[in-house]
Amino acid sequence: MAFNKIWCTVALGLLLPVSYAHTDFFTSIGHMTDLLNTEKDLVVSLKDYIKAEESKLEQIKKWAEKLDQLTDTATKDPEGFLGHPVNAFKLMKRLNTEWGELENLVLKDMSDGFISNMTIQRQFFPNDEDQTGAAKALLRLQDTYNLDTDTLSRGNLPGVKHKSFLTAEDCFELGKIAYTEADYYHTELWMEQALKQLDEGEVSSADKVYILDYLSYAVYQQGDLAKAMMLTKRLLELDPEHQRANGNMKYFEYIMAKEKEANKSGTDTEDQVEKETEVKKKDYLPERRKYEMLCRGEGLKMTPRRQKRLFCRYYDGNRNPRYILGPVKQEDEWDKPRIVRFLDIISDEEIETVKELAKPRLSRATVHDPETGKLTTAHYRVSKSAWLSGYESPVVSRINTRIQDLTGLDVSTAEELQVANYGVGGQYEPHFDFGRKDEPDAFKELGTGNRIATWLFYMSDVSAGGATVFPEVGASVWPKKGTAVFWYNLFPSGEGDYSTRHAACPVLVGNKWVSNKWLHERGQEFRRPCTLSELE
Ligand code: OGA
Ligand code: FE2
C-alpha cells in the first residue's frame, strides 16, 4: 500500500517539467509544501525498508537459533546422531542447499525500493543555492525585524504555531553562509550564538575550535583587534597546536604593538576606523531604513490632526445600481496619497477559487529591467505569481466587474488579475507601479497607457510581517484577509505620483497571498478626465 503511494508520487514527479526541479523553492510556500509531501513519502519508504530489513534479520536469527540447538546436540554425540538415517539425510540437504539459501538471504539487498525512490526524488530536491537562499532570507528577516540572534535561534517569534529552534550546528551553518558572503557582521552574530549554545551544554557535533576560528576572523575583519586576540587565545587553549591560530596570534600582537607606537606618535588610527564606518552608514540607503522601520510598525508619519480626518463609510460605487441597496464598507487608510481599504470585498470561497486557479501556474515573479525594458527576476522581488484571465472563470470575471464598479474605472484596458504568493522572507522592495518617463516604455506593447491605479486584494492574514508600506510618506498597510486597498498612481494630469512608492515587507511568519489589478489610462478619459495641472 505504502509503496503504491510512493510510486504514484514518483510517476507524477517524472511528468513534471525539468525546470520545476530548481525554481527557488524558498520563494513560495506552495512549492515547499510539495517538498514536505516528498519528505513524508520518503519517510514511509524508509520505514518500509526498515521493516523488510528487520524481517530478514528475524529469519536469519531463527535459522541461527535452530542450527545452534541442532549442532549442540549433534556434536555432543556425533556418531549416535548420524546413526539416524534421517539426520544423515538432513545434514546433506542442509549443507548442499539450505546454507546456500541462507547465504542468498544474507546477501539480499532490501534497500532497492528506498534507494530508487531516493534517486528519483533527489532530482527535485533543493540545491546549495536554495539552501543559501533560505539562509539569506533568515538573515534578511533578522535585520528587517530587528531580531536578536538568541530570540531567532530559540524560535521565539511572534505568532508562530510550530515553534522550532536552531541547534548549535544550524547556527554554525548560518555563520558559514554569512562568511562566504563576506558578511562578517552576521558571521560574528551566528558564530557567537553557536558558541553560546555549546557553552550552555548543548550536545552537538559542532566543534568549538572551528567556530572560534571563524569568529575571531570575522571580529578581526570588523576591526576589533582586542576581541579577536581574546578569541584566538581561547582557541589556543583548546588546541595549542592550531597552526593558523598561532600564526594569527603573532600577527595580532605585531599589529597591536604597531598601533600602540602609532598612537604614541599621534597618528590616529581610530579616526580612520570611524571614518570608514561613517562611509558604510552613508552607503546604507535612508530609504531602506524607513522601509524597515515601517515594516516593523515603527516610524508611522501621521499627525493626530490628520488622523482625525480619516473616515470609514458605506460606499455605493458612486450610485452604482449594483451597490445602492448593498453598499460596501470603505475605510480611509491614508490621505496623501489617498489610499482606501474595502472590507469584506472578496469572500473566502472566491479566494479559494482564485488560489486554486493560480497554484499550478505560480512561477517566480519578474520585474522590468529599467535598462532593457525586458522582464527578469530580481532579488528585490521574491515571490511567485500567476496571471488569471476573466475568460477562464466566472469568479475572476465577477471580481473584475467588482473592481470596475467600485473604482469607476474601465477594467477592459486593465492587466489580467495577478495572484502572488510570498513565502517566509518573500518581499518586494520599494518600487513604483507606474512607468517613469526616463524608462523605456514598459507598457508600450499593451497600448493602454500607464498604470493609472492599483487595486490590491489581501487573500490571507499574515501571522507576522508582510505589510505593504509607503516609505515616502510613512504609511503601513497591514494585510487582512478579505479586504482590498486602492490608490491612484498617476495624478489626473497623467504625471506619476512619486509619493505612491511602496513595498511589500518580508513575511516573517506565515504565508501571504495577494492579488492585484493594475488599471490603465486608456478607457478612463470620461471616467477620470485628465487635467493640465498636477494639483487639480
Ligand atoms: C506589487 C505590490 C504589495 C504587496 O505587487 O506591485 O506592490 O503587499 N505588492 O504585496
Ligand atoms: Fe506594487
Quick check: helix, strand or coil at residue 489? coil
Instruction: Determine if the pTM surpasses 0.75.
Output: yes
Quick check: helix, strand or coil at residue 230? helix
pLDDT score recorded for residue 57: 96
Q: Which residue has the cell 497623467?
A: 494
pLDDT above 70 (res 28): no
Q: Are 34 and 145 in contact (CB under 8 A)?
A: no
pLDDT in tens, 82-118: 999 999 999 999 999 999 999 999 999 999 999 999 9
Q: Which ligand is nearest to the CA of 467?
A: 1
The residue with greater pLDDT, 381 or 310, is: 310
- Enter the DSSP assignment of 32: H
Residue 516 beta carbon below 6 angstroms from any ligand 1 atom: yes
State the distance from the centre of ligand 2 to the C-alpha of 283, rounded, in angstroms: 25
Q: DSSP strand E in 210-362: where?
A: 312-315, 328-334, 339-343
For 149, 152, 160, 505, the CA distances from 165, given in Å and listed in that order, are 11, 8, 12, 23
- Most trustworthy range by pLDDT among 219-228, 255-264, 341-350: 341-350
The confidence band for 18, taking pLDDT boundaries of 50, 70 and 90, is very low
Cα gap 530→524, rounded to integer Å: 9
Residue 477 beta carbon below 6 angstroms from any ligand 1 atom: no
State the distance from the centre of ligand 2 to the C-alpha of 271, rounded, in angstroms: 43
For 68, 366, 513, 515, the CA distances from 483, given in Å and listed in that order, are 76, 25, 12, 11
What mean pLDDT do residues 476-502 have?
96
Q: Whose CA is nearest to atom 10 of ligand 1?
A: 504
Helix (H) or strand (E) holding 454: strand 451-458
pLDDT score recorded for residue 16: 34
Cα gap 439→304, rounded to integer Å: 38
pLDDT above 90 (res 50): yes
Q: What size, in residues, is the chain? A: 536
Q: What is the 3-state secondary structure (H, E, C) of 114-177?
A: HHHHHHHHHCCCCCHHHHHHHHHHHHHHHHHCCCCHHHHHCCCCCCCCCCCCCCHHHHHHHHHH
Residue 502 beta carbon below 6 angstroms from any ligand 1 atom: yes
Closest-lying ligand 1 atom to the alpha carbon of residue 503: 7
Q: Which residues pair with 421 in a beta bridge?
A: 384, 513
pLDDT in tens, 61-75: 999 999 999 999 999
pLDDT score recorded for residue 216: 96
pLDDT above 80 (res 501): yes
pLDDT above 60 (res 251): yes
The best mutation among 28, 451, 456, 472 to test binding of ligand 1, ranked by most ligand atoms within 8 Å of the C-beta, falls on 456
Minimum mean pLDDT among 226-235, 279-288, 371-380: which range? 279-288
